[in-house]
Amino acid sequence: MAVAGCQSLPDKPTEQTMYDFGPATTTPVSGAATGLPLQLPDVQVTGILETSALLYRLAYEDVNRLRPYAFARWSAEPGELLRQRLRDVLGRDRPVLDSAASAALTRRGATPPPVLRVELEEFSQVFDSPTASRGVVRVRCTLLESTGGGERLVAQRSFQVERPAPTPDAAGGVRAMAAASDALAQELAAWLRGR
């Protein structure tokens, strides 16, 4: 019985392993970004996503339960990794500023750039069976315009992107999460071009 129970869990690393998204998978555009600047504050995360643990769900047993891999960790919290990837991809179209750079620009008399607030709602590897899993990234994005009286809502949209994991383990989950984050960044860039 104990052996059968262990077979339902994904393969686990046996020593501490640190992961990140690796280098960007798309080729950067040559030359400077020419679009209007955009402020991208830190990605907002709450609860269990405020950790560097690599999380998974066994959807075939209990989709509502998040579990951490014992020895697999992200090199930073998921919000930080996602912000870095968003900055890389969005920066191909326009300058992407953090809050301090945006404030410095405004102090010099420039119009405050729009603010893109990103809330990370899901960032996990989901197992549909013991041998098949996918990386799932879900965010809510809010585009705000700075006005004399504060911020004004321009647009808001939720994005969910899934990519299959090549292997049913932590390493496969990392590759799926990186691919899903890349695809999400591309979708978000296309959405912003239409604003």
Q: What residues pair up with 67 in beta bridges, in sequence order?
A: 56
Distance separating alpha carbons of residues 39 and 91, to the nearest angstrom: 11
**pLDDT at position 33:** 62
Which residues of the chain are under the pLDDT cut of 50?
1-7
Q: Report the C-alpha gap between 160 and 184 in whole angstroms.
A: 7
pLDDT of residue 4: 43
Residue 56: name the closest of 10, 15, 13, 20 by CA: 10
pLDDT of 27 reads: 53
- The 3 state secondary structure assigned to 126-151 is EEEECCEEEEEEEEEEEEEEEECCEE
10 Å CB burial of residue 105 (0-12, 13-18, 19+) is middle
Domains of the chain (ranges, CATH numbers): 35-193 (3.40.50.10610)
What does pTM read for this prediction?
A: 0.85
Please list, in sequence order, all residues whose beta carbon lies within 8 angstroms of the beta carbon of residue 99, skipping any fewer than 6 positions away.
Answer: 39, 41
Residue 1's pLDDT is what?
A: 41
